[in-house]
Amino acid sequence: MEKILLGNYDVCVIGAGHAGCEAALACARMGIRTLMFSINLEAIAMMPCNPAIGGTGKGHLVREIDALGGEMAVNIDKTFLQSRMLNTSKGPAVHSLRAQADKQAYHTEMKKTLERQPNLDIKQDEVIDIDVEEGVVKGVQTRTGAYYTCRAVVIATGTFLGGKIFIGLSHFSSGPNGLAPSITLSESLKKRGMSLRRFKTGTPARALAETFDYEKMDRQEGDEPIVPFSFMNDELHRDQASCWLTYTNERTHDIIRRNFQRSALFGGEIQGVGPRYCPSIEDKIHRFPDRKRHQLFIEPEGENTSEMYIQGMSSSLPEDVQRDFYHTIPGLEHIKITRPAYAIEYDCIDPQELTPGLAYRKWKGLFCAGQFNGSSGYEEAAAQGLMAGINAARFIQGRPPFVLDRSEAYIGVLIDDLVTKGTNEPYRIMTSRAEYRLVLRQDNADTRLTEKGYQLGLVTEERYQKYLWKKASVEEEIHRLETAHISPKEAEGFILSVGGAPLKQGCSLAALLKRPEVSYQNMEVVDKGRPLLPAHVIDEVAVRIKYEGYIAMQDRRIAKFRKLEDRRLPEDADYSGIQGLRIEARQKLDRIRPRSVGQASRISGVSPADISVLLVWLEKERRRHGGQQE
Amino acid sequence: MADRYEKWDRTVSDPGDASGRSTGNISPEAGSDTVCAISTPPGRGGIGIIRVSGPDAEKLLMRIFRPVRKGPLEDHRLTYGHIVDPVSGAVVDEVLAVFMKGPHTYTAEDTAEIDGHGGRVPLKRTLALLVREGARLAEPGEFTERAFLNGRLDLSQAEAVMDIISARTDRSLSAAVTQLSGGLSGRVRAIRKDLLDLRVELAVNIDYPDEDIEVLTYEKLSKGFSEAASGLARLSASGRTGRILRDGLRVVILGRPNVGKSSLMNSLLRSSRAIVTDIPGTTRDTIEESLDLQGIPVVLTDTAGIRDTEDQVEALGVSRSRESVRSADLTLFLLDGAEGMTEEDRVIARELAPEKTIVLINKEDKGNQVSEKELETILPGVQVLIGSVKNGTGMDDLENAIVRFALGREGYAAAGKSPESAMENDPVVVTNVRHQALLREARERVEDALRLVSERAPFEVIDLDAEEAYLDLGLIVGEEVSDDLLKEVFSRFCLGK
């Protein structure tokens, strides 16, 4: 093939989905000459599945991306149609923001941001090969014959790579949403010795808004006031769209059951592993035969389209069956389907082949993100994209990788889970995966990460100043509440009104706030001297005071956890030569190459005794190299 | 998903094991805690040595060692004295002990050594005391490992250390399996499954707020955790029975001067097969007497022995007396029926916990002026017996009440009357110290969870305790924690788009 040298870059990003966009922006913002490819520029920041950003765990990721200077939160704040804080009946650690997105607007706004970004070029072209010489990335080759040199590549191919769509018994090569797949790249990667595997996911049908019967469904509205995703926005005002709730019934289930054999899922055509948490409707009915109904949400796809998304009903059944079962559902009897539900299978890598910095261990200069790493979800993709971009940039700068640990961020949990434990299905973040979730809250993502983003050169001066102000305000307000005193008499009326037991002796306002019946808001009547503060400051103040005890408990556990995270293992450790390690541990350690003893301890098959052996071995090495006794 | 190391540090091993080997794992931070082990080979040798190494070695030694010649211990010098249980005051062994300040010791850490009698019983009891006071049982090879990490050994020796450590994996794995009776692991697994079910519900409710699933109520959580707590309590109770059968029921006799304490002690001793303690030097001058009531070993402490001439009311305020009451399994509180309750009696009574107290109204032959109503107000639900120590009336009732107390109500009912048959009917007796510790820990966590539920604390906070309890129980049955929570979430609930 002809090789036309068309440019020299530091980093090439393959893919312009949620991972690709964050990766490209991160590199460019860190001053790296970056080129981003997409098979079709109309696919930039495309949401081929649900029209929403955030949710439990995912909302936390978006906040963290924002704190580090990423784009997702800013972009959804510009383009959401409805916003809700989930889980407000539960504790502050699991409050999670979720917003319905205007898909078209989301794409357009992100595209504008990319187009205006200095150091970043965008190309509509298909990368068909990554040029690797002696294990070092040299450049990329495209379908048109163009060749671009670069020292690092970020792969963020999503479901495009080896994409194959299934609808009933028909299947065909395709990227998501009818776009062209990336087949050649998949083949050349394999030819270069990379082993790929197949995962699958699915999406439900879209139908026209005018054809639903809203009388038969329950309306679900957004929150007022709106809580913004980005720490850059103190408040947002918008007319919000509604979503609608309805249920399947026995008739729906009968139709699906009768047609099981016509589903790609049961017909044995699909090789890919699908996620447990995101089953198709036929899967749900197959696995939970006792359930009388399943819930679905009808969500708008955007302001300038009539299309509605039928959440909860992904399927790979044939179109006639889809039409028939959708029509059994109250409110959906007469819907006109514009796009049928489909399942899609794609190529991805075993993330255990990656470092915690998301670098592919076998080739120098290759970084990976998103569904290619076996994850699922826009937010998971964006988080990895950001980290892969940062680390590609740092690789160019000759700096060590930037890694967040499990006690610092959901991003750390996500990546550590992927690279240390691996995954056998598309991986989705959940708050239950984070062992330090009381500390990893969405309200304090900025406190946890802005400073780091600033050091990396991703956080703008404006954002940094805003953060410093918030941090100072939070500290000041906590100090004020801790030092403001209230007597039993002053508190009496208020305590009675909220149904609490009277104070026995005077206490600080902070102590008063710790009572379950007291909130920062209702305490106002006895707190005359309070300053006017924005909601996000109040949130963090209230959480930190109310949950001080629990947070302190987690902090102690984190301190313990860090001790082992700080024991670094050399990259070139020869595990086969370490006496005393069991064979399974040797193999696992050799394959996964943990960067710390802490990471090693989380590898399945590495026992506590193996960890002891590692500690002794580390000490031995340190002494052999003339290290000083502590 | 908790930090595995957190668990490791808390793990204590079974002092019943000769080498101090256990199913637990070593602390990754050598030198950060204090470890102990019997460091002589098992057998009937003349003496046995217990070694203690770590920052608290001196403190721990001084907690349990009473030198005959008072005063601070000299560094690196053997001293003669007794091992004394600091809580009960019981003498455990007659020993030579030495404290050696680091770094001039084998491990380079502060080290204590206790040369005791070679019999396993006193050695184990001494070791158990050290563990109770805060030491952790050392893993095989851990002293050597520490020596190496502290720079005492050379590189060639380090290789040997790694071999020792790796050898213990296989041994401890098999030990984990064999130490478990089928009954215990079955019950632990059942409670663990219940906890997992609760955690699954918590996880689903937290992570899938928009799904069409049953809302988890605090009532349901309260019920679930209560059941788990009582299940664990039953197991711990069997642990308590196990401990009592092994170490004896600690009973303290309390009352005003001249109420008949010494007479009661003598009466109980007469009626029982007196046990001659196997610890030399502790038979005559001790404040404790060991006896055997219907097969239950009882360690009787007469506070009269220490304080009969002093004012008991004041004495209660003195830590020693108070301590022995606090640490006793059971307090026998004597009242003088002829005199009725005095102000002193009331002061003493208020200090007592009714559920571990039996009140004996003595001298009933001279009348009973004690108002049971008043007793009930001060000690609600307390068991009251009436009799006369002098005439021997009510003594059988007292003996039965003590035995029943030792076995716990259920155990006794199952037993008919014989404690031996009680054990047969209830084969789940937790005698392994490590298992007991984990059960206790799990129970505390579940009770914490229960308290949080009653406070309507957020789900994610409650789950912290549920998770800890779940992991503790997992350490007993030797199950690895992995993806089981999420696996259950997705197999039980229909979730997702």
- Statement to judge: residues A269 and A323 lie in one domain: yes
Read off the pLDDT of each residue in B120-143 and give the average, rounded to a whole number: 77
Q: Does A550 touch chain B (CB under 8 A)?
A: yes
Q: Does the structure show a pLDDT above 60 at B171? A: no
Q: Judge whether A52 and A209 are in contact, CB under 8 Å.
A: no
pLDDT band at B281; cut points 50, 70, 90:
very low
Which CATH number fits the domain that encloses residue A617? 1.10.150.570
Which CATH number fits the domain that encloses residue A542? 1.10.10.1800
Q: Judge whether B63 and B134 are in contact, CB under 8 Å.
A: no
Residue A420 with chain B: CB contacts under 8 Å: none
More confident residue, B44 or A191: A191
- Statement to judge: residues A219 and A337 lie in one domain: yes
Residues counted in chain B: 497
The two beta strands, A218-220 and A243-247, are antiparallel
- Statement to judge: residues A296 and A222 lie in one domain: yes
- Give residue-wise pLDDT tens across range A487-500: 999 999 999 999 88
Q: Is residue A606 one of the residues assigned to a domain?
A: yes
Rounded to whole angstroms, the Cα distance separating A257 from B223 reads: 38
As for how many domains chain A has, the answer is 3
Mutate one of B8, B206, B459 to test the A interface: name it (highest A CB count within 10 A). B206
Q: Which of A310, A343, A376 is the last residue of a domain?
A: A343
Residue A366 structure tokens: 């290759």
Give me the residue from B169, B206, B480 closest to A56, CB to CB.
B206
pLDDT band at B241; cut points 50, 70, 90:
low
Rounded to whole angstroms, the Cα distance separating B462 from B452 reads: 6
Domain that holds residue A259: 206-343
Q: Do A204 and B497 touch (CB under 8 A)?
A: yes
Give me the residue from A311, A564, A617 closest to B497, CB to CB.
A311
Q: Which residues of B, range 132-161, sit inside 8 Å of A by Cβ? A: 145, 148-149, 151, 155, 158-159, 161
User: Does the bond joining A225 to the residue before it have cis omega, within 30 degrees of 0?
Assistant: yes
- Give residue-wise pLDDT tens across range B331-353: 999 898 888 888 888 888 888 88
Q: Does B219 touch chain A (CB under 8 A)?
A: no
Q: What is the DSSP letter of B393?
A: B
Q: Taking Cα atoms as reference points, which of A297, A301, A339 lies closest to residue A319?
A: A339
Give me the residue from B6, B149, B208 closest to A557, CB to CB.
B6
Residue type, A405: D
Q: Do A277 and B495 touch (CB under 8 A)?
A: yes
Q: Judge whether A358 and A410 are in contact, CB under 8 Å.
A: no
Q: Is residue A368 one of the residues assigned to a domain?
A: no
Q: Does the structure show a pLDDT above 60 at B316? A: no
Q: Is residue A260 one of the residues assigned to a domain?
A: yes
Rounded to whole angstroms, the Cα distance separating B433 from B12 reads: 8
Q: Does the structure show a pLDDT above 70 at A255? A: yes
Residue B310 structure tokens: 């002093």
Q: Does the structure show a pLDDT above 50 at B26? A: no
Lowest mean pLDDT segment, chosen from A68-82, A192-206, B213-227, B395-409: B395-409
- Statement to judge: residues A258 and A331 lie in one domain: yes
**Angle (nearest 5°) at CA A68 between A532 and A25:** 125
Q: Judge whether A66 and A152 are in contact, CB under 8 Å.
A: no
Q: Which of A532, A556, A580 is the last residue of a domain?
A: A556
pLDDT more than 70, % of chain B: 64
Residue A612 with chain B: CB contacts under 8 Å: 25-26, 28, 145, 165
- Statement to judge: residues A619 and A507 lie in one domain: no
Q: Taking Cα atoms as reference points, which of A615, A609, A594 lies closest to residue B32?
A: A615
Quote the pLDDT of residue B8: 27
Q: Report the gap between the CA of A6 and the closest CA in chain B (Å).
A: 43
Q: Does the structure show a pLDDT above 50 at A66? A: yes
What is B56-86 written as a DSSP string?
THHHHHHHHEEESS-SPPPBT--EEEEEE-T
Q: Residue A408's CB: how many other CB atoms inside 10 A?
A: 20
Read off the pLDDT of each residue in A505-534 and give the average, rounded to a whole number: 92
* Angle between helices A58-67 and A445-456 in degrees, nearest 10: 40
- Statement to judge: residues A238 and A333 lie in one domain: yes
Q: Does the structure show a pLDDT above 90 at A411? A: yes
For residue A54, what are the CA distances in angstroms to A21, A65, A72, A281, A433? 17, 12, 10, 22, 16
Q: Taking Cα atoms as reference points, which of A220, A249, A439 lies closest to residue A326?
A: A249
More confident residue, A548 or A25: A25
Out of A173-187, A606-620, B44-58, B116-130, give the one with best mean pLDDT: A173-187
Q: Is residue A11 one of the residues assigned to a domain?
A: no
Q: Is residue A464 one of the residues assigned to a domain?
A: no
Q: Does the structure show a pLDDT above 70 at A50? A: yes
Q: Is residue A10 one of the residues assigned to a domain?
A: no
How high does pLDDT run on average in chain B?
73
Q: Which of A343, A359, A378 is the last residue of a domain?
A: A343
- Statement to judge: residues A579 and A552 lie in one domain: no
pLDDT more than 90, % of chain A: 80
Read off the pLDDT of each residue in A605-628 and give the average, rounded to a whole number: 78
Q: Which domains does chain B have, with CATH numbers?
A: 4-178 (3.30.1360.120), 182-241+431-492 (1.20.120.430), 247-421 (3.40.50.300)
- Statement to judge: residues A325 and A242 lie in one domain: yes
- Statement to judge: residues A511 and A611 lie in one domain: no
CA atoms within 13 A of residue B468's CA, in its CB half-sphere: 26
Out of A10-19, B80-89, B208-217, give the one with best mean pLDDT: A10-19
Q: Please report which helix (H) or strand (E) contains residue A414, including its range.
A: helix A410-416
Please enumerate in sequence order all residues whose Cβ is within 8 A of that of A243, keeping only pairs 6 or more positions apart, or say none.
A82, A100, A219, A220, A297, A298, A299, A300
Quote the pLDDT of residue B139: 72
What is B453-479 written as a DSSP string?
HHTT--HHHHHHHHHHHHHHHHHHHTP
Lowest mean pLDDT segment, chosen from A33-42, A442-451, B94-103, B132-141: B132-141
- Statement to judge: residues A330 and A263 lie in one domain: yes
Q: Is residue A360 one of the residues assigned to a domain?
A: no
Please enumerate in sequence order all residues whose Cβ is within 8 A of that of B444, keeping only pairs 6 or more positions apart, or say none.
none
pLDDT more than 90, % of chain B: 17
Residue B459 with chain A: CB contacts under 8 Å: 90-91, 94
Quote the pLDDT of residue A419: 97
Quote the pLDDT of residue A345: 95
Read off the pLDDT of each residue in A512-528 and give the average, rounded to a whole number: 91
More confident residue, A273 or B430: A273
Read off the pLDDT of each residue in B122-144 and give the average, rounded to a whole number: 79
Read off the pLDDT of each residue in A387-393 and give the average, rounded to a whole number: 98
Q: Judge whether A114 and A21 are in contact, CB under 8 Å.
A: yes
Strands (E), A518-589: none
Quote the pLDDT of residue B243: 66
Rounded to whole angstroms, the Cα distance separating A588 from A586 reads: 6
Residue A17 structure tokens: 């989905």
What is A257-311 written as a DSSP string?
HHTGGGSHHHHT---SBPPTTS--HHHHHHH-TT-S--EEEEEE--TT--EEEEE
Mutate one of A432, A436, A440, A441 to test the B interface: name it (highest B CB count within 10 A). A432
Read off the pLDDT of each residue in B94-107 and give the average, rounded to a whole number: 88
- Give residue-wise pLDDT tens across range B349-403: 888 888 889 999 988 888 888 888 888 888 888 889 999 888 888 888 888 888 8
User: Does the bond joining B354 to the residue before it have cis omega, within 30 degrees of 0?
Assistant: no
- Statement to judge: residues A484 and A511 lie in one domain: yes
- Give residue-wise pLDDT tens across range B437-488: 778 889 989 999 999 999 888 899 999 999 989 988 887 776 655 566 766 7
How high does pLDDT run on average in chain A?
93
- Statement to judge: residues A213 and A329 lie in one domain: yes
Q: Is residue A453 one of the residues assigned to a domain?
A: no
Residue A435 with chain B: CB contacts under 8 Å: 1-3
Exposed/middle/buried for residue A148 (C-beta within 10 Å: 0-12, 13-18, 19+): buried
Quote the pLDDT of residue B166: 55
pLDDT band at B305; cut points 50, 70, 90:
very low
Rounded to whole angstroms, the Cα distance separating B230 from B332 reads: 27
Residue A57 with chain B: CB contacts under 8 Å: 207
Q: Do B490 and A96 touch (CB under 8 A)?
A: no
CA A544 to chain CA centroid, Å, is 25
Read off the pLDDT of each residue in B414-435 and give the average, rounded to a whole number: 45
Rounded to whole angstroms, the Cα distance separating A237 from A233 reads: 11
Q: Does B28 touch chain A (CB under 8 A)?
A: yes
Q: Report the gap between the CA of B237 and the closest CA in chain A (Å).
A: 29
CA atoms within 13 A of residue A531's CA, in its CB half-sphere: 13
Give me the residue from A56, A92, A554 closest to B209, CB to CB.
A56
pLDDT band at A24; cut points 50, 70, 90:
very high
Read off the pLDDT of each residue in A60-87 and give the average, rounded to a whole number: 97
Q: Does the structure show a pLDDT above 80 at B21? A: no
Read off the pLDDT of each residue in A546-568 and give the average, rounded to a whole number: 88
Q: Does the structure show a pLDDT above 60 at A122? A: yes
